[in-house]
Amino acid sequence: MTSDLAIKLAYELIEEAKVDLQAARELLKQKFFHKAVFESQQCVEKAMKATLACEGLTQVYEHDVGALFAAEVITHAPQDWVEELRNVFRETAWLMEQYTATRYPAIKARTVVSPRKSYREDEAKDAIKTAESALNAIEKYIQQVVGKRNKST
């Protein structure tokens, strides 16, 4: 059984993920496409960390938590949830890689690459759509599966 505190953390992470998603939408409107992608990544990261909290992992400080999500959540999920959670993992892989690239200029091939010049509107829209889909699936998973698991113990 997961502690009440871990479950409260999970629900708080979901609420913060919703704020990140809203921020991504606002940044898209302002044409800050790199920032919209970053906030979308943050949304997914927090949603995945919510599922990890439900598995008792409350002190996760990495930003790319996809591997932990696969190892600790998907492998313990009820069979009827496995494919949907695998889809979340697959669909968010690109987004999880954007944590650094959306924020820091870098030198690539003897050129300075700026995040604000590197992302297009369609990428920001795709990132938001991906984050929204992942957040919806994860929130539903937590409500149905984790809530049921804790009530039965």
Q: What pLDDT, on the 0 to 100 scale, is given for residue 152?
A: 57
Extents of the domains making up the chain: 4-151
**CATH superfamily membership of 4-151:** Nucleotidyltransferases  domain 2 (1.20.120.330)
- Tens of pLDDT, residue by residue, the chain (153 residues): 578 999 999 999 999 999 999 999 999 999 999 999 999 999 999 999 999 999 999 988 887 899 999 999 999 999 999 999 999 999 999 999 999 999 999 999 999 999 999 999 999 999 999 999 999 999 999 999 876 666 655
Q: What pLDDT, on the 0 to 100 scale, is given for residue 22?
A: 99
What is this structure's pTM? 0.93
Bridge-partner residues for 106, per DSSP? 113
Q: What pLDDT, on the 0 to 100 scale, is given for residue 153?
A: 53
Distances from the Cα of 121 to the Cα of 24, 25, 49, 75, angstroms = 12, 11, 27, 35
CA nearest 81: which of 7, 145, 129?
Answer: 145
Q: What pLDDT, on the 0 to 100 scale, is given for residue 3?
A: 87
Q: What pLDDT, on the 0 to 100 scale, is given for residue 61?
A: 80
